[in-house]
Amino acid sequence: MAEEIYPVELIAPDIESYRAGNIGVEFVTTFDSGKAGPHVMINAITHGNEICGAIALDHLFKGNIRPVRGKLTLGFINHLAYSTFDPNNPGASRFVDEDFNRVWVEDRLDGLEITAELR
């Protein structure tokens, strides 16, 4: 399969300031309103070259968006792949070891295999 090259007209934000998170998982932050309500999670960069989600979460963080009720969790999920993003070759940063969509099989998740995406 030939690598697809396409123009990237957006700027991928620097997400390093979100690394620490606040729940013990790098790049995952939860805001709790302290009031009963739903727990909503917004997941960005499932693939490292899908930068629109990173732009959206960066906007939510910088806009100080907080839930009125319930919890809001924001996560930059495949940050390792995203850290290699190159707008001149965006397809190369889709994943580190394997497509994230291919790890969601119980045998693989519970198995001994180790890849960046399984971790």
Chain segment 35-71, per-residue pLDDT in tens: 999 999 999 999 999 999 999 999 999 999 999 999 9
Identify the three-state secondary structure at position 14: coil
Which residue range(s) make up the domain with 68? 23-109
Answer whether residue 12 is part of any domain. Answer: no
Question: Is residue 12 predicted with pLDDT exceeding 50?
Answer: yes
Answer whether residue 116 is part of any domain. Answer: no
Answer whether residue 51 is part of any domain. Answer: yes
Task: Read off the pLDDT band of 3 (50, 70, 90).
Answer: low
Answer whether residue 101 is part of any domain. Answer: yes
Answer whether residue 93 is part of any domain. Answer: yes
Looking at residue 1, its pLDDT comes to 46
Q: How many domains is the chain partitioned into structurally?
A: 1
pTM of the prediction? 0.84
Answer whether residue 105 is part of any domain. Answer: yes
- Long-range CB contact pairs, 96-103, < 8 A, 24+: 96/48, 99/47, 100/46, 100/47, 101/46
Mean pLDDT score across all residues of the chain: 91
Question: What is the spatial distance between Cα 8 and Cα 90, in angstroms, rounded to a whole number?
Answer: 8
Answer whether residue 62 is part of any domain. Answer: yes
Answer whether residue 45 is part of any domain. Answer: yes
